[in-house]
Amino acid sequence: MNKPSFEALPLAAPLHRALRELNYTTPSPIQTEAIPPQLEGRDVMGCAQTGTGKTAAFALPILHHLSLDPRRPRPGRARVLVLTPTRELAVQVGESFSKYGRHLRLSHALVYGGVSQHPQVKALRRGVDVLVATPGRLLDLLEQGCLELGGVEFLVLDEVDRMLDMGFIHDVRRISKELPAKRQTVLFSATITPEVQRIARDFVRDPVRIEISPDQPVVEKIHQQVCHVRGENKIPLLEHYIKTGSDAESSARTLVFSRTKHGAEKLSKKLNTLGIRSEAIHGNKSQGARQRALDLFRKGRVPVLVATDVAARGIDVKNITLVVNFDLPDVADTYVHRIGRTARAETLGHAVSFCDGTQIGDLRQIERYLGHGIEIDEGQPFHDGELMRSRPSASRGQPSHRRPGRGGFDPRRSRFGRGTPAGRGDRDRPARHYRKNPRS
């Protein structure tokens, strides 16, 4: 059976030209399944593992439709609206539209918090073809009358499960009231939960539902390991992994996740004192500082980036060969999105999680969500056998036949019942008071 190719897709010639220049030859499974129905004008509800090319899966059909109808957008309006949960993901999606549409005369704009709104308002005043936004800042600008959404022809809701985690879904519903009923809508999520399905019913009409490996939330090319280590040995163990990886490959990049903003900043400073160049990215930093850190990391000038979960779904950087969970997340599907920053675009990746005595329960929750145990690295220099023995016997790296959500425990539902979701303090602020835009 012949493999599908981008050349076989009925996309506009300028898009094929851009794909050839980018050396894109074979679409990923989600692209193969999601692009054709969108070209036919159908709504799509898609689920695929992180890092499998969902952005191109919706950007290419939209750009194709715009190329066939190249009329100028009206001032204060946008033809395409893409909503993302984080600033970093908004930037990434915007860059993808620019990259794929490089040979099309289309305008783009980004709207997100943490930076001055004046350049954003100026761009919107002219009218844009593609608007990529986070919900909080978009609602603020709607309230100020800076734009109206009556001309939106295409709506994309990206990473809907993350929007749920961050408390944005009510803002998204408010935004939807300003949108025309006649539009094409695409909804993408890395995980499908009952809550995501309920949201989909409100936004998509008779959608084509696509699920790529829904029972395998982590791509197979990520080698996952867990290290049982005491808290005081975590930094020496991190140094060991980083230096071992750097010796093996000079272009290697390491992404380290910390639970807290203070912890990320402190850890980055400590690595620098050890001679390991690193930057930190978290919600207390300005958007400009966060973007500069990402750019340095992307260019390889800084080989290590320490991040909170604000970056779990906003970093699309080549050559991230190692992801380290310095602190395990307390939400199981956050683990999936963290380690999904490696093994992007069919490459191999390695994910290591440090588990001290306080996080055995979090580890067990993650393994239940995955449906199997995570391999223990007993060969690392700070392995603690006593901590390993305290791990529940059913989870010691052995496959489990229990599927998530059975037997009364559902880690996906636990996101809504235990404290503040990871990363919530880093979110782009939802608007508190919103009155209907009188111009719409």
pLDDT digits (tens, 9 = 90+) for 38-72: 999 999 999 876 667 889 999 999 999 999 998 88
Answering whether pTM is above 0.75, one says: no
Burial class (CB within 10 angstroms; exposed 0-12, middle 13-18, buried 19+) of 225: middle
Domains contained in the chain, CATH given = 6-211 (3.40.50.300), 222-402+410-417 (3.40.50.300)
Give the confidence band of 189 by pLDDT, cuts at 50, 70, 90: confident
The residue-averaged pLDDT of 280-301 equals 86
List the one residue out of 318, 308, 277, 271 whose CA is nearest residue 166.
Answer: 308
Give the confidence band of 213 by pLDDT, cuts at 50, 70, 90: low
Average pLDDT for the chain:
83
Residue with tokens 């992307």: 298
The helix-helix angle for 135-143 and 169-176 (nearest 10°) equals 40
* C-alpha count within 13 angstroms, C-beta hemisphere, residue 190: 29
- What is d(CA 378, CA 351) in angstroms, rounded to the nearest whole number? 15
> Which uninterrupted H or E stretch holds 81?
strand 78-83
How many residues are recorded in the chain? 440
**With 70 as the cut, is the pLDDT of residue 117 above it?**
yes
